[in-house]
Amino acid sequence: MHPAQRIIYRYRRKRFILCIILATITFIVTLGLRYYTVQSDYKREIDTYNQRAVASLESVLEPIEVARKSLAVLTGIPCDMAQYQLREQAARLQTVRSIGLVKQGNLYCSSVFGQRDIPISQLQPSLPSMHPVMRLAIASSLLPGSPILLLWEPSSPDGQSGVIQTVNIELLAALTLKPQPPMIEKAVLNVANDYLVDKKVIQDIRPRKPGLVEHRFYSKRYPLAVVVTGPSPGAAALKSLPAQIPLAIMISLLTGYITWLATATRMSFSWEINLGMAAHEFEVFCQPLVRARDRQCIGVEILLRWKNPRQGWISPDVFIPLAEQQDLIAPLTRYVLIETVRHLHLFPSTEQFHISINVAASHFHRGVIIKDLRRYWFPYKPEQQLMLELTERDALPDMDYRIVRELHQMGVQLAIDDFGTGQSSLSYLERLNPNVLKIDKSFTAAIGTDAVNSTVTDIIIALGKRLKIALVAEGVETELQEGYLRRHGVSVLQGYLFAKPMPIADFPRWLAGDLPPPAINKEKPRSALTLR
């Protein structure tokens, strides 16, 4: 894989991983929130049910209590005198089955049977009592075997006399404690230690089914509680989660997509280039150009280098095409202009010395390059001749020729870089009217080895001469190439044979001859990049 593709791929992968992570977190958080809200809803449902059930039981028991207390004065009064009031109260309080008066431990008067004479302890062992009593019991006289709620109100300090009421608790419980699936499978009345379950009074109602739990809600007024059994809100919420999955997937996909869009700039190579410019990670190098006749340095080409702290050295072959693709080539060229101007004092200060800067064709659109030169180059009044190198692979035919003319008028020279590698067209060559053709290093390398390409070299040289365009050969690595080019009339040479690109600060020492000539690198010239 090409380094540029590898870098882009790495950024894409990072972005993708981030999206996956955020989408997964969103998925988990959405389900978590749904779990939490469903669980809270279930808990609230149970609480509301219990509160309502206890409140309605209390509201039924309150008037019964009032009646019991008011009837306490009747204990001791003969039954035939009290009976009418007992009946009247029993009739008024619909849930009350019977009311009885007890004297000296004996039930002597009942709203149902009238005069009686039964020890109350026979009917209910816990009676008589000095304290008020509320108990679940099974009726023994009227409708024997049916559950009742016994209510006792003592009327004498020794607790031997008092009023006893029996309440149709079965009906009351059936009305107030209806199951409410799925959360309330069963609701049971609890009075003291007894529970009313399926018309029976029992002492233990542990949930039999596994996974069911019990919630108990006590009355603040009476010794009773409502006990509901059903699935635990947590388990029920967990059970409801599969239904929430489609929603969670949708939200997490949306999050992933938004992250993908939002990171398009921040997690991209273009963001990295911007960061690099801001942090001055780019360094300008220069490579001398020498006169073929006497090897005298007559100019330099400015070349960018990028020391990226995260990726290491990145070759211009990688980042320049990417910068062109991402519309960042103009800012990079401005960076080069600014840096070159800052180092102008290191170059010979004469108009015979030229400084070549590589410019992308896109920078020529709407005259942006002219504005930039007016802003970043000319205000510093450089003595040196400015030359712009345009690479032929950039869509030269699309160039705005009025801008080219204006550049010529401003005294800027134009060179066509890598000449012969792109789609050369003689007509635009004529219209562009370049000052220099730079013979691509692949043709220089072919000299003496590759018959076809060295023929092309000869043709380019002939073309330059015919159109009276100066020729510069790049990539000169051997004296054989140097001799050949010189003999064929190429006036300026550039290549490792004379100097490799160097930091601008090293240039004065190189010019003074203090730097040793470079070791020739046999590396093959690289072809222009093609990115998907």
Which residues in this chain contact Ca ion in the complex, by CB under 5 A? 358, 389, 417-418, 474
Binding mask 469-508 for ligand C2E (x = CB under 6 A): -----xxxx----------------xxx----x-------
* Residue 39 touches which member of ligand C2E, Ca ion, none, C-beta under 5-8 Å by kind: none
| CA–CA separation, 66 and 64 (whole Å) | 5
**Residue 296 tokens, joined:** 């005298």
Distance CA 503, CA 509 (A): 11
- The answer to the question of residue 223 lying near ligand C2E (CB under 6 A) is no
Q: Is 417 in the site for ligand C2E (CB under 6 A)?
A: yes
For β-strands 224-231 and 470-473, DSSP reports them as: unpaired
Residue 525 lies near ligand C2E (rule: CB under 6 A): yes
Segment near ligand C2E (CB under 6 A); pick from 9-17, 355-363, 427-435, 506-514: 355-363
Please give the Cα distance from 122 to 104 (Å, whole number): 14
Q: Are 516 and 495 in contact (CB under 8 A)?
A: no
Considering the complex, what minimum distance in angstroms separates the CB of residue 520 from Ca ion?
A: 18
- Region of 493 on the Ramachandran plot (φ > 0 left; ψ -120 to 50 alpha; else beta): beta
Q: Identify which of residues 44 and 371 has a Cβ nearer to ligand C2E in the complex.
A: 371
Nearer to Ca ion, 194 or 389 (CB): 389
Residue whose CB is less far from ligand C2E, 313 or 468: 313
SS (H, E, C) 321-352: HHHHHCCCHHHHHHHHHHHHHHCHHHCCCCCC
- Choose from Ca ion, ligand C2E, none: what does 304 bind? Cβ within 5-8 Å by kind: ligand C2E
Which CB atom, from 418 or from 477, has the smaller least distance to Ca ion?
Answer: 418
| Minimum distance, C-beta of residue 515 to ligand C2E, in the bound complex (Å) | 16
Q: Which is nearer to Ca ion, 241 or 456 (CB)?
A: 456
Which string of b and e fits 427-450 if b means at least 16 CB within 10 Å?
Answer: ebbeebebbbbbbbbbbbbbbeee
Nearer to ligand C2E, 153 or 392 (CB): 392
Task: Quote the least distance from Cβ 318 to ligand C2E, whole Å.
Answer: 9
Between residues 215 and 438, which has the closer beta carbon with respect to Ca ion? 438
Instruction: Please give the residues from 432 up to 451 whose contact with ligand C2E meets the rule CB under 6 A.
Output: 441
Using CB under 6 A, count the residues that bind ligand C2E. 28
Q: How far apart are CA 10 and CA 32, in angstroms?
A: 32
Place of tokens 């699935």: 231
Query: C-beta of 324: minimal distance to Ca ion in Å?
Result: 14
The minimum distance between CB 437 and ligand C2E, in angstroms, equals 13
Q: Which does 117 bind (CB under 5 to 8 A by kind): Ca ion, ligand C2E, none?
A: none
Binding mask 270-289 for ligand C2E (x = CB under 6 A): -----------------x--
Q: Which sign, positive or negative, has the C-alpha torsion 359, 360, 363, 365?
A: positive
Say whether residue 392 binds ligand C2E (CB under 6 A). no
Least distance to ligand C2E, CB of residue 304, Å: 4
Q: Which does 159 bind (CB under 5 to 8 A by kind): ligand C2E, Ca ion, none?
A: none
- For residue 495, what are the CA distances in angstroms to 87, 301, 417, 420? 125, 11, 14, 18
Q: How far apart are CA 297 and CA 103, in angstroms?
A: 134
- Residue 102, classed as helix, strand or coil, is strand
HSE-up of residue 64 (Cα within 13 Å, Cβ side): 26
Taking the least distance from each CB to ligand C2E, the nearer of 150 and 497 is: 497
Residue 162 binds what, of Ca ion, ligand C2E, none (CB under 5 to 8 Å, by partner type)? Answer: none
CB of 359 to ligand C2E, least distance (A): 6
Residue 335 contacts residue 277 (beta carbons within 8 Å): yes
Site for ligand C2E in 301-320 (CB under 6 A): 303-304, 315-317, 320
Q: Which of 252, 391, 421, 442 binds ligand C2E (CB under 6 A)?
A: 391
Q: Which secondary structure element, helix H or strand E, spans residue 44, and what is its range?
A: helix 3-71
What sign has the CA pseudo-torsion 393, 397, 402, 405? positive
Q: Which of residues 31-70 bind ligand C2E (CB under 6 A)?
A: none
Alpha helices in 222-268 (DSSP H): 233-266
The window from 10-18, 159-167, 224-232, 353-361 that contacts ligand C2E (CB under 6 A) reads 353-361
Q: Which does 321 bind (CB under 5 to 8 A by kind): Ca ion, ligand C2E, none?
A: none
CA distances for 144 relative to 15, 113, 149, 197, angstroms: 79, 14, 13, 17
Sign of CA dihedral 157, 159, 160, 162: positive
DSSP state, residue 440: P
Residue 495: name its binding partner from Ca ion, ligand C2E, none (Cβ under 5 to 8 Å by kind).
ligand C2E
Of 23 and 439, the one with the shorter C-beta distance to ligand C2E is 439
Q: Which residues contribute to the site for ligand C2E (CB under 6 A)?
A: 287, 303-304, 315-317, 320, 329, 333, 336, 358-360, 389, 391, 417-418, 441, 474-477, 494-496, 501, 523, 525
